[in-house]
Chain A
Amino acid sequence: MQHHIGRFVLAGTAILLALSSGFANAADKIRLAQNLAPISGLAIIAKQKNLFEKYGLDVAVSNFTSGRQALETVLGGGADIATTAEAPITAAALARQKIALLARMEYSDDKTLVSKSSGINSAADLKGKRIGYTVGTGGEIYTLTLLKKAGLTKNDVTLVNLRPQDMVAALSTNSIDAYNTWEPHISNGKKALGDKVKELDTKGVYAETFNLVVTEEYLSKNEKTVTAFLRAILDAERFLKANRDESITIIAAATGMKKEELADIWNDYIFELVLDERVLSTLKNHAEWRLESGNAPAGATLPDFHKFIFAAPLKQVAPERVKIPGL
């Protein structure tokens, strides 16, 4: 009888050990909501090259057509991490949502494409013209900043709200004289309209940032998982910089673009996992615009964005990449 009990104890212990080792090896599950576009390049590379698995993560990706949808999914509890631009972040911050910005992954300049027949050769020539832009996005801030730099206001032009994908059609029918947006819609316009259009030199006027965001609650309960996620994204950045061609191939395939088309605009995307002054100043500028233009909830005030940036996970991964003083 004692012999039998001993066997049961041994078998039970073995099962417990097996189960606990199984739990120890089980990958941490993360639900990533991403805007499926080259701006999510680092997350795409990390997934395609199995870099998340390297750090014990099982990442389930949900793709969206905008960062706003991705962030809304996170706020609604449908995902854990969002890839998103500054516009949805400031909207959420002004609505007093407890979000945590982990790092910037990418930034790229917004651009202006004009029809040659409109006679626009510089930003100052935009006076009196019809300009396509997308209301509520970084494209609107870019438009207003560009006009300001040229000594104009929005009253000097006719602003026409359009989805980026409808801008080429609007320019082709002369319904607008120019449009302001982000890639790949500028390069799409050049391809579709050829020598009838040209790009204005507006480099450095306004760059949209693309960031990783979670809720404060998720971060407080899953800091290790988040840190492992950032390690995988950092590996993806290293891979991307060391393997240009392969990265273009992977991202083009994932986003449904042609490899050559992505290669043409590849240098416009600045991929870097970092927390720097650009993150802070972009958020502040965007939030100020929201408050000035009334695109914010009633009674909202300018938030202190230091409180929305959580540097601890990135500090653990790569402390030199946290470049905002005081964080």
Chain B
Amino acid sequence: MILTNARLIDPASGRDAPGALWIEGDRIADVAFGAQPAPPEGATVIDCGGHALAPGIVDVGVSVGEPGARHRESFRSAGRAAAAGGVTTMVVQPDTDPCADDPAIVQFIARRAAEASPVRALPMAALTKGRRGLEMAELGLLRDAGAVAFTDAGNTVADARVMRRCLTYARTLGAPVIHHPQEPRLSDGACATEGEYAGRLGLPGAPAMAERIALERDLALAELTGARLHVDAITTQGALTALRRARDAGLAVTAGTSIHHLSLNEIDVGAYRTFFRLDPPLRAEEDRAAVAQALAEGLIDLIASQHLPWDEESKRVPYEAAAVGAVGLETMLPAALTLYHAGVMGLPALFERLSLAPSRLLGLEGGRLTRGAPADLALFDPDAPFVLDRFALRSKSKNTPFDRRRMTGRVLRTWVGGATVYDRAAEG
């Protein structure tokens, strides 16, 4: 199969140029930048119409409701949403019920994903039993069962001794520890970032500093243990300062941020709109801008959707009582493209954060348009405008903060392992 007349985006080489790409089986067989040789007789030719062709997005930290909450999201619905969003690998959170702190659950997740999801889905396992932060989970057995990383998802391990042991123990297992740095005692009961806005709304807030405090401890523990630590989401200026210092000191710590914290700020919450209730809570505009800048500079390594589906009932309640999180698989690319349209980042750099860096983090082959790489690809029109209708999302849950927003950038077609998993033209 040959994809011709494409605008090839290769984050590995930083190239953004016209060209063609050959797929054989489930792999990329060849890539030609510039001059496009005539396709051989009998080959399937797909004309990309000059649109952008990039390695598929690898999304670290997707919550799927299997097992435990299939009414919110199944592997089938999440996988379809991912395919429509140009996401070719979902790295799945262990925040299931029962929690993925047991090898059998990790195997179940991997099996269900393989059966039902049109895109790849890789399980992560809990770092501590029950994600309670008290006892280390069976990390070795979980790794053997197929876990690609260890994380307590949205829970912070409060106990420094437990965290230290986990980091030390995980060091030799070949999978990173991913942590959510929000000082739990300062964040207790909070549903907003402390400040003028939360104060006027009368919402209990946690200081932005809660992120830096937790991060500083984690950075110190990473230094102490020499472990490979990834921070799931940095969302504040204060935490960036700490991260920069650690990086400058040569610490092997990587960090992500969430597409929502990159796109929205606390004012977007408006009159208690619960689809904007996230963890960490949305931040001040200065924080959002600093995070975008840090992403462009490469201080922040990757973007994640932090896809977290909730049914309508969980969000149709007062703000303080509302479930925390938003769906993001289908909206991550158009939301991220605002950085490209604003001139903050080129497309290769953007896909470095969306595809190559997360692949590197987990030791995956994706994120490259090179011979032999898996044919996980997203074809998209970066300039196509549309207004998001949340009820048109493929996810079972429709809790997106982008409802009725004008967005720019549409996925046209997605391939996983050389097979088409989404085709906008065919779906109509």
Q: Do A and B bind each other?
A: no
The residues of B with any CB-CB pair to A shorter than 8 Å are none
